[in-house]
Structure 1
Amino acid sequence: MTLPESTRALIANRPFVTLLAARTLAMLGMAFSPVALAFGILRLPGADAGTLSLVLVAQTAPMVVFMLVGGVIADRYPRAVVMLTGQAMSALGWGSIGLMMLLGYAPVWLLCLAAAVAGTAGAATYPALNGIIPDLVPQAHRQQANAWLGMGASTARLVGLVSGGAVVVLVGGGWAMVVAASTYLAAGLFTLALPRVKGSLADAAENPLRQLREGWREFRSRQWLWVAVLQWSVMNMMLQAAHGVFGPVVAEHELGGAGVWSMLLAAEAVGALVGVTIALTWKPQRPILTATLVILPSGVPALLLGASTPVPLIALAFFVLGIGFELFGVWWLTTMQAEVPPESISRVSSYDALGSLMLGPVGLALAGPATVAFGVHPALIGAGVISTLTALLALLSPDLRRLRARHPATVEVSGVVAAA
């Protein structure tokens, strides 16, 4: 069987293969974290949905607050170094939580502090990852590169969710958190081998605040970009509450606990594998329009959980969700890498992440009170309805509907990629 030319080129690209290994290992650690953290905390003496909400807010809020700083840093300094720093912080944060759970000393304030360290790491790694891909991969192969990164992430997510859930059931959340921390350390070893590319970076001597304003101009000048980010901001608020708090609470009290919840998340990961497989070859002419259409079912899993439908039907909804999310992710990253100048892409990515994630902590903070005020099932249904409506509203943007894919020629210069 002859491999496609783009696949052969990526296999021969040693820096990309190294990045793929590092990213996959980091995602494996990330996949262990949600189940271990949620059920580890819910099983602590005196803990409830409010406790879980507080720790998750402590994780996500610093990521939002420091995202713009991370974008500036990732455009000024070698992105491999920025990624390595983030991986070390993730290992420290999740490892500390695991040790607290194993030692039986887990005060809420200390859990929140460790979660905040792990959350701050995301503010560094996300903009750096989006910026380093154009540094390592020619533009003609970037959709395939993004899809392969998604494939690795989805595979790691599936393995992590299944094995993480098993570890939680067998020996508890503490050991699962320790395993998550160790995979971040392994990812860091691969990241050490990445080249320190500087040619695509902004001037490190320039005023950081000016660079931040330049990044904002690049962001707001593209209607398709900020409309989609607004949509994801609201949708993430709903999904963070539904999948971070409401879902685990329903699973713990009605569906059988961590094993069933891990199975549902694994169904989403399997769907993600299907999604990135499709993305390897499907290149829509209007990528952002198509991406928005495929995530219209985003609220269905929450609706089905809220309606107490059978678990297999809920799993099917999570599977479809995984397909849509991965297709959106690949097309989104590829479009950004084609439309945004390389020296600004990490800053624009940080505005993207800030806008998309900024309401996530709000959703998590309100999840506990909403469970008390309305009940977990009505809250899930409300979250599902709002998630779907936001995707429909995004389609009103003319720029989002009309944007067409670019296919410019590229050349490779000493391992660094530049537009021809």
Structure 2
Amino acid sequence: MSSRTAPGPPSALRHRPAWAGRNYTLLTGAAVVTNLGSNGALIASAFAVLEAGGSSGDVGLVTAARTLPLVLFLLIGGAIADRIPRHRVMVAANALNCVSQGAFAVLVLAGDPQLWQMMLLTALCGTGTAFFSPAAEGMLLSSVSGEHANRAFALFRMAVNGAGIGGAALGGAMIAAMGPGWVLAVDAVAFALAGALRAFLDVRHIAPREPGGSLVGDLRDGWVEFRSRPWLWSIVLQFSVVVAVVGAAEAVYGPLVAREHLGGPAPWGLALAAFGVGTLGGAVLMMVWKPRRLLLVGTLCVFPLALPSAGLAVPLPTWGLCVVMLVSGLAIEVFGVNWMTTMHQEIPEEKFSRVSAYDWFGSISMLPVATALAGPVESAVGRTNALWGCAALVVIVTAAVLTVPDVRRLTRKPVPALPTAGGPDLPSGGSAAAVAAATGSPAGSPAGD
């Protein structure tokens, strides 16, 4: 693979670490832009449903409409992203997200949005994400050299999570002051700007794919890579439960608890911002800490994800909820960086996007069901019991994963230093590389939306 530098970078991009190449810088900037918009938009979509007279079940249906296309199209998106230039897939997906969120904003601002309309537009946004995510994660991991992976992933996540802090807090405040429609409009603009940045990504350093072969064959190759690693499929199975129950708790029950006990959307936005502060702290920690047993340390840090559900069940006052969200954010960021480093170390570059797609698919497969059933479960057992059940499931499945020998034993491998003069976008040389896990907000998306 070529190690040359992309010609003629803007002067602003020259003031960066030697290991942060053009693609890494553009990907980081674009992810920051989208996270500023998307963190507020997630809150806005829930309150748009509630302000239109919807119930907790309606909020769950709209959330499920976003995640169902992910389940349906992720595997196809991953295979396509390993067949054609990944940046083209990313830009096209950003364009779809821009249009769908813009239409959602117009619908809400015009007044009297119907549930089916909100579900349809949210489903279009989810479809864009299904094609975007595997391509983006493959692109991110191919832009980092092996010996700098831990620091690069930590810095990337620090920048993205920092944007999330501002996005969640600003989104909550904007909803309270101006209504959810304007927050959705800002998200549409953010997707347009991010797509423009991603259009300048350079893919010349990535070796051309071998011609021929079918889409089904590519999916089969990705499945072989996935199933041959017990540490990989066991943690993805774990997160299929964790993402589902945390998603139901925070996307459906959280806004309801905020409205009834905390005073509205602004305190809930503040709590989500505290989660972002925690992830920022975790990223700072991982800039200097390189644990030897990557997955053991990471899995232990999943246990605190039970805290927000428990805090909502009590319910804690705003300051208490902010504390537990901060702790869980810090812990899951440690998991996120260790997971990305493990995948970068273990999976071949040419299969990044396909393995990422199986990771995404497994991790979110139960999320549409969980969010759609959140309302009926609340009616059957009560919101408090449902939230305690969410917390208990996180603890149970995380403890179960620790029984897998490879999760406890897999260790960090030394990587020979590669030349990085001029800041080229280098893959990880002869060492194995991989796509990071993307499990939505619980695990942290490594590539942004």
TM-score above 0.5: yes
Which residues of 2 match residues 195-214 of structure 1 at below 5 A? 195-197=202-204, 199-200=206-207, 202-214=209-221
> Is it true that 1:30 corresponds to 2:38 in the alignment?
yes
- For residue 105 of structure 1, report the CA deviation from its aligned partner: 4.1
C-alpha separation between the residues in 1 aligned to 2:204 and 2:174? 39
Q: Which residue of structure 1 lines up, in the alignment, with residue 90 of structure 2?
A: 83
Which residues of 2 match residues 21-420 of structure 1 at below 5 A? 21-44=29-52, 46-197=53-204, 199-200=206-207, 202-409=209-416, 411=418, 415-420=425-430
Structure 2 length normalisation: TM-score?
0.89
Structure 1 length normalisation: TM-score?
0.95
Provide, for residues 13-43 of structure 1, a one-character-per-residue CA deviation record: whole Å limited to 9, x for no partner: 2221111101111222221211111112111
Query: Does the Cα contact within 8 Å between 2:96 and 2:128 map onto a contact in 1?
Result: yes
Kindly provide the amino acid, as one letter, of the partner of residue 36 in structure 1. Answer: A
272-281 or 190-199: bigger deviation = 190-199
Kindly provide the amino acid, as one letter, of the partner of residue 38 in structure 1. Answer: A
Provide, for residues 213-268 of structure 1, a one-character-per-residue CA deviation record: whole Å limited to 9, x for no partner: 01000001111111110110011111111001011111111211101110110110
- For residue 205 of structure 1, report the CA deviation from its aligned partner: 2.5
Q: Which residue of structure 2 lines up, in the alignment, with residue 3 of structure 1?
A: none
The share of aligned pairs that are identical, in percent, is 35
Residue 388 and residue 197 in structure 1: after superposition, are their counterparts in 2 closer, same or farther (change >3 A)? farther
- For residue 204 of structure 1, report the CA deviation from its aligned partner: 5.0
Q: Which residue of structure 1 lines up, in the alignment, with residue 5 of structure 2?
A: none
C-alpha separation between the residues in 1 aligned to 2:357 and 2:212? 20
Kindly provide the amino acid, as one letter, of the partner of residue 427 in structure 2. Answer: V
Query: Does the Cα contact within 8 Å between 2:296 and 2:408 map onto a contact in 1?
Result: yes
- For residue 311 of structure 1, report the CA deviation from its aligned partner: 2.6
C-alpha separation between the residues in 1 aligned to 2:317 and 2:181? 30
215-224 or 117-126: bigger deviation = 117-126
Kindly provide the amino acid, as one letter, of the partner of residue 309 in structure 2. Answer: A
Kindly provide the amino acid, as one letter, of the partner of residue 19 in structure 2. Answer: L
Structure with the bigger percentage of helix:
1
Provide, for residues 78-118 of structure 1, a one-character-per-residue CA deviation record: whole Å limited to 9, x for no partner: 11111112211211222111110001141211111110111
Kindly provide the amino acid, as one letter, of the partner of residue 9 in structure 1. Answer: A
Q: Which residue of structure 2 lines up, in the alignment, with residue 4 of structure 1?
A: none
Kindly provide the amino acid, as one letter, of the partner of residue 375 in structure 2. Answer: G
Provide, for residues 100-152 of structure 1, a one-character-per-residue CA deviation record: whole Å limited to 9, x for no partner: 00011412111111101110111122211221123222111122121121011
Q: Which residue of structure 1 lines up, in the alignment, with residue 28 of structure 2?
A: 20
- For residue 309 of structure 1, report the CA deviation from its aligned partner: 2.7
Comparing both chains, which one has the higher relative contact order based on Cα–Cα distances under 8 Å and sequence gaps of 6 or more?
A: 2
Provide, for residues 25-72 of structure 1, a one-character-per-residue CA deviation record: whole Å limited to 9, x for no partner: 12222212111111121111x311111111111100001111101110
Which structure 1 residue ranges, 4+ long, deviate > 6 Å from structure 2? none
> Is it true that 1:8 corresponds to 2:17 in the alignment?
yes
Name stretches of at least 5 consecutive residues in structure 2 with no aligned partner. Answer: 1-15, 431-449
